[in-house]
């Protein structure tokens, strides 16, 4: 409750500063819209359904691209973490490729797939695949060795050892990888949508820019932040915290 009070005060103050700056008219309203201007743009966007459609399309792409990258990333991560040769070769390549911002894949994506849905998914995949892979690999390494030993001691071996011990034992790390993957996929998708200009939140943002409608730009930014936070902060972080508690990893 005390934390909530602090947050209410903080955000009210922030809003107050915004109102004050807007009222002072240092910049014209079309460049620096007041909060109610952004509120208005949000209202209009939802009223004419463009925001609903944008969210739906973006979330659909997210779901497909993200699922793909989690599935592939887990397989790759497992392969790299369980094979010394792959770890020393492919592992290094993956880490170095991760320094590549996902937007760098856009020219290739356009050449290979054209301005299509596939190209967007490709960018999302490349943006999050590596972080999922690396998180998976780290997770396997960080997993306490005691679980594997206890499993073998109790008669587990081969696939059963993997399925009933090693996999559940690395679950907190897998969730961590999924969370990181989500954050990267989300950023990549918005970037890709801004460039491909095919319906979606990124495109709505660019439309605001083209119309010099900063209220719309900021309204979409607010939407992106809220949606991103809802999934990352509420779903993933809660899941992660619960798991850490259960596994005795909580700080």
Partner 1 sequence: MSTSPQNAYPPPAPVGRRTGVRANVFYGKPASAVTTFPARPVTEVVVPKVALDSISLSYKTTSGERLLALDNISLEVKPGEFLCIVGPSGCGKSTLLHLIAGLHPQTSGKVLVDGVPASGPGTDRILIFQELGLFPWLTVGGNVEFGLKMKNVAKAEREERVQYYLRLVHLSQFRDSYIHQLSGGMRQRVALARALATEPDVLLMDEPFAALDAQTRDLLHDELERIWAETGRTIIFVTHNVREAVRLGDRVALMTFRPGRVKQQFSVNLPRPRHMEQADVAHAAGEILGCLRDEINKSLEAEYADEKTR
Minimum CB separation of residue 154 from partner 1 in Å reads 4
Q: Residue 243 and residue 52: Cα distance in Å, rounded?
A: 33
Judged by CB, which is closer to partner 1: 100, or 149? Answer: 149
3-state secondary structure 32-97: CCCHHHHHHHHHHHHHCCHHHHHHHHHHHHHHHHHHHHHHHHHHHHHHHHHCHHHHHHHHHHHHHH
Minimum CB separation of residue 60 from partner 1 in Å reads 32
Judged by CB, which is closer to partner 1: 25, or 141? Answer: 141
Specify whether the CB–CB gap between 84 and 75 falls below 8 A: no
Binding pattern for the stretch 43-82 against partner 1, x by CB under 8 A and - elsewhere? ----------------------------------------
* Window of 17-25, 52-60, 80-88, 167-175 that interacts with partner 1 by CB under 8 A: 167-175
Q: Residue 128 and residue 14: Cα distance in Å, rounded?
A: 33
How many other CB atoms are found less than 10 A from the CB of residue 237?
14
Minimum CB separation of residue 45 from partner 1 in Å reads 44
Q: Residue 54 and residue 244: Cα distance in Å, rounded?
A: 35
Classify residue 49 as left (phi > 0), alpha (psi -120 to 50) or beta.
Answer: left
Residue 245 touches partner 1, criterion: CB under 8 A: yes
Of all helices (H) and strands (E), which one includes residue 235? none
Binding pattern for the stretch 125-164 against partner 1, x by CB under 8 A and - elsewhere? ---------------------xx-xx-xxxxx---x---x
Q: Residue 5 and residue 131: Cα distance in Å, rounded?
A: 36
Q: Residue 152 and residue 138: Cα distance in Å, rounded?
A: 22
Judged by CB, which is closer to partner 1: 114, or 168? Answer: 168
Residue 171 touches partner 1, criterion: CB under 8 A: yes
Residue 104 touches partner 1, criterion: CB under 8 A: no
Judged by CB, which is closer to partner 1: 33, or 151? Answer: 151
Judged by CB, which is closer to partner 1: 150, or 235? Answer: 150
Task: Name the nearest CA neighbour of 128 among 160, 110, 105.
Answer: 105
Judged by CB, which is closer to partner 1: 75, or 150? Answer: 150
Minimum CB separation of residue 167 from partner 1 in Å reads 10
Judged by CB, which is closer to partner 1: 60, or 84? Answer: 84
Binding interface with partner 1 (CB under 8 A): 146-147, 149-150, 152-156, 160, 164-165, 168-169, 171, 245-248
């Amino acid at each position: 409750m005390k934390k909530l009070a602090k947050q209410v005060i903080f955000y009210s103050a922030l809003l107050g500063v915004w109102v004050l700056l807007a009222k002072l008219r240092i910049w014209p309203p079309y460049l620096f819209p007041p909060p109610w201007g952004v509120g208005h743009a949000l209202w209009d966007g939802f009223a004419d359904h463009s925001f609903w459609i944008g969210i739906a399309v973006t979330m659909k792409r997210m779901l497909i691209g993200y699922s793909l990258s989690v599935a592939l990333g887990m397989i790759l991560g497992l392969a790299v973490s369980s094979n010394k040769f792959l770890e020393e070769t492919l592992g290094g390549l993956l880490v170095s490729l991760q320094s590549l911002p996902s937007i760098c894949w856009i020219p290739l994506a356009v050449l290979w797939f054209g301005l299509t849905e596939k190209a967007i998914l490709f960018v999302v995949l490349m943006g999050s695949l590596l972080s999922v892979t690396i998180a998976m690999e780290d997770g396997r390494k960080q997993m306490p060795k005691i679980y594997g030993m206890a499993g073998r001691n109790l008669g587990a071996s081969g696939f059963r050892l993997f399925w009933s011990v090693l996999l559940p034992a690395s679950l907190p790390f897998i969730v961590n990888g999924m969370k990181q993957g989500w954050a990267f996929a989300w950023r990549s998708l918005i970037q890709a949508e801004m460039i491909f200009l095919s319906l979606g939140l990124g495109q709505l943002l660019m439309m605001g820019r083209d119309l010099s409608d900063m209220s719309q730009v900021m309204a979409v930014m607010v939407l992106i932040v809220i949606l991103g936070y809802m999934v990352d902060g509420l779903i993933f972080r809660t899941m992660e915290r619960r798991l850490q508690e259960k596994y005795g990893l909580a700080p």
